[in-house]
Chains A and B, each alone.
Chain A
Amino acid sequence: MSEPLLRVEDLHKEYREGRTTIHAVNGVSFEVYPGEAVGLVGESGCGKTTTARCILRLEKPTRGRILFEGTDLTTLSRGQVRARRKDFQMVFQDPNESLNPRLSIRRTLREPLQLHGLYSSDQQLSEAVSRVTLEEEHLDRLPHQLSGGQKQRVGVARAMMTTPRLVILDEPTSSLDMSLRIHVIVLLKRLQRELNLSYVFISHDLSTIRHLCDRVLVMYLGRIVEQGRTEDVFEDPTHVYTKALLSAIPIPDPSVKRSRLLLKGETPTARLLVPGCPLQDRCAFVIDECRHPLPEYDLGNGHRVACRLAKEHPAYRTVAPTSTAA
């Protein structure tokens, strides 16, 4: 396999809140290869957005390395990071908040190029809008003159202006209606192919992840509890959390009847670092073993699961070599 474009190694991010420490991200490691779409999935507070913000250096990680094309971003100065940002861009969740309401679309799209001292021709701008299926006439509008779906596409177009290698998308479809979502996903897939992009796609929306991503990382309480090829994780979820998450999603088909695996209670806050599985207080299958540091079990093809039940999986052979678990 080729060299990864991005390699995150043992990433930690802690916040101080008075006398307590919040462990938002707690030892996360993964790679993103060129042209690959990796989904980072989990519920609120699992640390997926913090992970993304660390990669973009919008936050400084407490510990760990973030290698982008071999360069450790955590060691760069602010200025150096800014210069590299041309190669990694972000699409935000809410276009209403991420677009400057006073800037025309033309200026919005020009800005990222200007920041890097690049020139933007009219042709570049009209290409940029047509790439995201907007019209040239939209260039002279202000954000409030566009619909939600159009604004989201401006956000996508802006991220593509500097021809980045990696685009991090933070819930780009969650504010959109269902009928718009499929259009945005198709658009993102096409852009990925045309511009040879890698994506880190952050979402709680598993259906979108399933249709867009090649690989998926399931996060819970600051840790990756299961990862693998999208097909493997969705067809053969093995961590109790992944199973619960997938079974909780209502299926729009009355002929499908499923049993639901319910978790007890709610996600606890990431204040107390407990050894072992982060799900231990909500899991119905918890035993003493789960309260001790646990490895990741390797089920082949990069399908790795930090749950003791993975040992009973027919594909289980070994413990994964790079243990990232606590």
Chain B
Amino acid sequence: MHIYLPIAEMSIPVESVFILGGFVGFVSGIFGVGGGFLTTPLLIFMGVPSAIAVGTQGCQLIAAGLSGVIAYWRRSQVDFMIATIMLTGGFIGTIIGVFFFQFIRYIGQIDLIISLLYIVFLGTIGSMMLFESLISSVKKKTMREEFNRMKSPTLISKLPYKMRFPRSKLYVSAFVPGGIGMLSGFLVSTMGVGGGFLLVPAMIYILGMPPLLVAGTSLLQIIYTSAFSTIMHAYINGSVDVLLAVFLILGGVIGAQIGVRASRRITGAKARVILALLVLGVCVRLGMQLFIIPSEPFVMVEK
């Protein structure tokens, strides 16, 4: 059954959108991460214009984020102050991102830049994850000790505008959460990615937050940032398609349920290895398109 997306002005099979949302929800349910990195490239592959894929993706991040945040909030595992500071950075990052996005559209190099951003982002994160999860399944304690020693390098403690964050028991420059938030805002508005991959390690190792608080706080930040990104994209680019969003979210919610149930069977390092491989797989596929041979030598753009 086809539906005609009002903003994208194209017809798309509903089942495909549903399955896409479901698959991504499933991944997020098992591994506890956004899955946005999968949705955007897959949407573009299905023929949705990249601006609409990125602009609409924000909505899925909001929905997935909220259901996660509520669970963490119930267990008092959210630091609202850190989230607020990160949010301020997030606003700035989103604005930069939306205009950057417009610019690369204008010069006609949008597939190139988005692919490059994805490859760098996914490649770095995927390799780090693979490395970490392979090692931790071999030498559990030593790795953790080493990471603990890496916490709070001295450069960061020299930054100004220090603030107290009682919940996380931190006294650190506001620029740190602000900067992390800014990067996350940029990622959401240019790639439609929640950035959880980046946020979580950054918050643990650079900011020095207690790991228990990180997941809930980062999700809260993603919700705010994605909401802002949605507003900006709708206002400036007119690229948010509500019908597409609704079907993606519906599929995602159902997929996540199944994923959470499945996650009880696969746990720990094994799961993280699979996730890392998935991330690297997408990265390699994009890399092949960009560096080896593109599937389509000609690209058509209509204005």
A, B from the same assembly = no
